[in-house]
Amino acid sequence: MTTIKLHNTKTRKKEVFTPLDPENVRMYVCGPTVYDRAHLGNARPVVVFDVLYRLLRHVYGPDHVTYVRNFTDVDDKINARAAETGRAISDITAETTQWFLDDMGALGALEPDHMPRATQYIPQMVEMIEALIAKGHAYEAEGHVLFAVDSWREKYGKLSGRSIDDMIAGARVEVAPYKKNPMDFVLWKPSTDDLPGWDSPWGRGRPGWHIECSAMSYELLGESFDIHGGGNDLMFPHHENEIAQSCCAHPEGSFAKMWLHNEMLQVEGKKMSKSLGNFFTVRDLLDQGIPGEVIRFVFLSTHYRKPMDWTAEKAREAKDTLWKWRQLTDGSERHRRPHLEVLEALADDLNTPLALSVLHKKFKEANTNEDASRFLATLEVLGLGRNWRDGFQNAVEDAIETVNHLKLLEKRMEAMRREAMQSKDFSEVDQMKAALSEAGVEVRMSKSDVKLIQGANFDPAKLESLK
């Protein structure tokens, strides 16, 4: 059996993964708050843990792996969106949940075994909060119920490596007169008549953010399970608070045995931000004609524990590579065994860049139908290959045609610029730049050449007039 090694955030070292029960390997990953489209950064943990899910299924068998990823469908952001749009909260959450599933499916992500919604588990949350109060780990104050961090003081902060004193000094926490400690966090809060609410021993209200994952993971995976994952932005306070309340409510268990966190995403070397004009949703890229498999390939090109930089150049390279690989595997039957070298790379803390490097090598060496079928089986472990969706071929052909078109336009602009420098008349160059800008193409000129880069608002249809 393949030996899997994973970097455990909790111990800060790579460890051999030994499941609590090989017949029932269990993983929980924090899912989205459903009030809007998933942006590119939201998609990274989905792809990372989809690869791990596929690896676990390959090693232990599909029937012996349970993957849970939740939907947060009760949250102040959702309430604000409802107030802003005048739409019913249930309509917003239903719509955005389906958006998320569609967009992640386009990236080749398998759906988890369970996708619980917070609103389906309110009674279990209330029960857990009652247990925390009874055990002296939580208290009621002014209609709120708060977790008492001091009751878990010696262990709180171990995941993120922070002390309570440092957190109080450096963190921006909600200061409220009813808190015994500034770091105490909300388990339950009151709801006004215009907000979602449920009856509870503390009055009509709704749960805090952190309690939902503790309650749902306990109900679906038990008091102890193998892996808990998410983006490293969730490490504190969300995951830290999950550990505290789960271990205090169920001291007979250990909660999550291993913790995995992926690093964040940048766009063209900068933090993704609407103010910088480099903010993309997954749907934005799909609608621009970038296939989901291309987005997935770019994600896999960077190790999950390193910051990932999305660039148009990486997307173009991924399109070209996937097109060549598709041609090799067209018509191939899936081989029973993927390439061992790729499995070994994935088993070494999900080293997807190494796995892709091995595939590049195997592609060059492939010269028989047997090679092609095994190559296809290997792609499937990475979420590629047979899972390419309807329209992939046309999408890639269109994307490659666009790339070639931009290259021709680059050459034309270089010639136009040379002529303009001789004539001192730059009007045609300026007109071309304006037309490209209108199509969402960024023009980068240096002394030696011209580069055309697809921007956030790229519209290939607007390039037609420039042929």
What pLDDT score was predicted for residue 79?
95
Q: Higher model confidence: residue 387 or residue 150?
A: 150
Tell me: do 243 and 290 sit in the same domain: no
Single out the residue in 355, 387, 419 at which a domain terminates.
387
Tell me: do 218 and 288 sit in the same domain: no
The pLDDT tens digits for 346-364 are 999 999 999 999 999 999 9
pLDDT of 60 above 60: yes
Tell me: do 117 and 203 sit in the same domain: yes
Tell me: do 57 and 169 sit in the same domain: yes
Sign of dihedral through CA atoms 135, 136, 138, 141?
positive
Domain of residue 236, residue span: 5-262
What pLDDT score was predicted for residue 389?
42
Tell me: do 312 and 238 sit in the same domain: no
What pLDDT score was predicted for residue 365?
92
Q: Higher model confidence: residue 415 or residue 300?
A: 300
Tell me: do 198 and 68 sit in the same domain: yes
Residue 393 inside a domain? The answer is: no
pLDDT of 386 above 80: no
The pLDDT tens digits for 69-85 are 999 999 999 999 999 99
The pLDDT tens digits for 318-327 are 999 998 898 8
The pLDDT tens digits for 94-119 are 999 999 999 999 999 999 999 999 99
Tell me: do 135 and 26 sit in the same domain: yes
CB 185 within 8 A of CB 241: yes
Tell me: do 77 and 110 sit in the same domain: yes
Cα distances (Å, whole numbers) of residue 213 to 67, 201, 245, 256, 465 = 14, 21, 10, 12, 52
pLDDT band at 391 (very low <50, low <70, confident <90, very high): very low
Q: How many domains does the chain have?
A: 3
Q: Which of 180-194, 237-251, 395-409 has the lowest mean pLDDT?
A: 395-409
**Per the omega criterion (within 30 degrees of 0), is the bond before 251 cis?**
no
Cβ neighbour number for residue 464 with a 10 Å cutoff: 10
Residue 236 inside a domain? The answer is: yes
Single out the residue in 231, 262, 293 at which a domain terminates.
262
Q: Output the domain CATH number for residue 14.
A: 3.40.50.620
Tell me: do 92 and 204 sit in the same domain: yes
Tell me: do 403 and 443 sit in the same domain: yes
Single out the residue in 245, 262, 279 at which a domain terminates.
262
Q: What is the mean pLDDT of residues 199-213?
A: 96
Tell me: do 289 and 424 sit in the same domain: no
Q: What is the mean pLDDT of residues 60-66?
A: 97
Round the average pLDDT of the chain to a whole number and report it. Answer: 90
pTM for the complete prediction?
0.83
Q: What is the mean pLDDT of residues 268-295?
A: 89
The pLDDT tens digits for 330-350 are 777 766 789 999 999 999 999
pLDDT of 441 above 90: no
What pLDDT score was predicted for residue 390?
44
Sequence-distant contacts of 360-369: CB under 8 A, at least 24 apart: 360/321, 363/324, 363/325, 363/328, 366/328, 369/332
Tell me how far apart the alpha carbons of residues 467 and 459 are, in angstroms, rounded to a whole number: 14
What pLDDT score was predicted for residue 460?
75
The pLDDT tens digits for 403-421 are 778 888 888 888 988 898 8
What pLDDT score was predicted for residue 173?
54
pLDDT of 400 above 50: yes
Residue 392 inside a domain? The answer is: no
Tell me: do 362 and 454 sit in the same domain: no
What percent of the chain has pLDDT above 70? 93
